[in-house]
Each structure stands twice: as C-alpha cells, then as structure tokens.
C-alpha cells in the first residue's frame, strides 16, 4: 500500500505533463500505479449494497467500470492538488482485524498545506493486500457513495444507477 501511494505521487511528479496539471496524465498515472493495489470491485459491491446481488453480470460489469472511473478521477483530482508541493508520507502500523484479513492503515500527508490524515482500508487477497476503501476528511468513500447510490437505486433501480454514473462521468470527463 505504501509503495502504491508513494509510487503514484512520485510518478506524477516525474512526468512533466502530470506535474504541470494535465488531468489526463495524472489519471493515467493513477490507473497504472494506484489501481493495481486496489480492489474496486469489492468497493463497488459494498457501495451498491443488496442491489448488487440482483444485478445481471452485465449490469455488475457496467457498475464496476463506471464506479472505478469515478474513483480514479476523484483520486487523480485530489493528487493534482499536491503536484507543486513537497509531500511526505508517514504511515502508522496497520490496525489488523481479528480475522487477519482486514486492516486499516493510517497515513499522514505532510505538505505545505499541513498534515492531512488519510486512512486506507485493506483486505488480504491471494495476490496480496488490496485497498478497498479510503477515508479522506473524516468520511469513508463507501459510506458516502452508499447514500447516493441508494437514492439512485430507489428512483431507477440498477439501470438508473448505471445511467447516473455514466452521465456523471461524461460531465466530468477530463
């Protein structure tokens, strides 16, 4: 997790276009350096809740793809705020759950803007630890999106949520 987070920031700073604020380049860096350390499929399943089980495989695929795109762009946008700063990370030891398969890692992003705490919730998978939730500014992303998704699901079901995510991503295209 540490190498994914620090590696993403270092790769962004090493790329002149990303360092200059090119959101397409920053997004590409996030996709190549950060996304492999995540399990956004689990993130999607949890955020969608019980409706995930009723979705067809094609709907699940669309939900996952659209939500991952939203999460990648959100993370890239946050990183773009750090591009001109000297950033250091301080990671605290993981708080591992009783099962040993779930952990929370707290990090502090030390920059000229101050000391911002970001927590990462990870799960142990056969291919290593994967990030599936992020706590920024005191809000876990899954909880934030669960509320929004439930509203969309109550209005238009799975297809309504897919449409909402697709339209949101199209409006916010880099």
CB of 142 within 8 A of CB of 133? Answer: yes
- Is it the case that residue 85 has pLDDT exceeding 70? no
Percent of the chain residues past pLDDT 90, beyond the cut: 55
CB of 134 within 8 A of CB of 140? Answer: yes
In the numeric block, which tokens belong to residue 76? Answer: 């890239």
Interval 32-74: pLDDT, tens: 999 999 999 999 999 999 999 999 999 999 999 999 999 999 8
Domain count, the chain: 1
Report the chain's mean pLDDT, rounded to a whole number.
Answer: 88
Could you list the residue range(s) of the whole structural domain that residue 17 is in?
Answer: 2-171
What are the residues facing 143 on neighbouring strands? none
Q: What is the spatial distance between Cα 153 and Cα 147, in angstroms, rounded to a whole number?
A: 10
What CATH number is attached to the domain comprising 90? 3.10.450.710
- Is it the case that residue 92 has pLDDT exceeding 70? no
- Residue pointed to by tokens 């695929």: 61
Query: Helix, strand or coil for residue 97?
Result: coil
């Amino acid at each position: 997790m540490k190498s994914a987070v620090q590696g993403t920031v270092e790769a962004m700073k090493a790329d002149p276009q990303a360092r200059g604020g090119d959101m397409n380049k920053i997004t590409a860096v996030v996709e190549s350096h950060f996304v492999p350390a995540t399990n956004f499929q689990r993130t999607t399943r949890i955020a969608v809740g019980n409706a995930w089980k009723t979705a067809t495989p094609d709907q699940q695929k669309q939900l996952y793809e659209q939500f991952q795109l939203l999460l990648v762009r959100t993370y890239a946008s946050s990183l773009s705020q750090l591009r001109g700063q000297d950033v250091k990370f301080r990671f605290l030891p993981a708080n591992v759950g009783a099962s040993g398969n779930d952990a929370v890692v707290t990090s502090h992003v030390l920059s000229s803007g101050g000391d911002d705490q970001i927590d990462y919730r990870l799960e142990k998978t056969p291919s290593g630890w994967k990030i599936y939730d992020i706590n920024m500014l005191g809000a876990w992303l899954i909880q934030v999106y669960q509320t929004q998704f439930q509203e969309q699901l109550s209005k238009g079901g799975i297809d309504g949520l897919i449409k909402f995510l697709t339209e949101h991503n199209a409006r916010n295209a880099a």
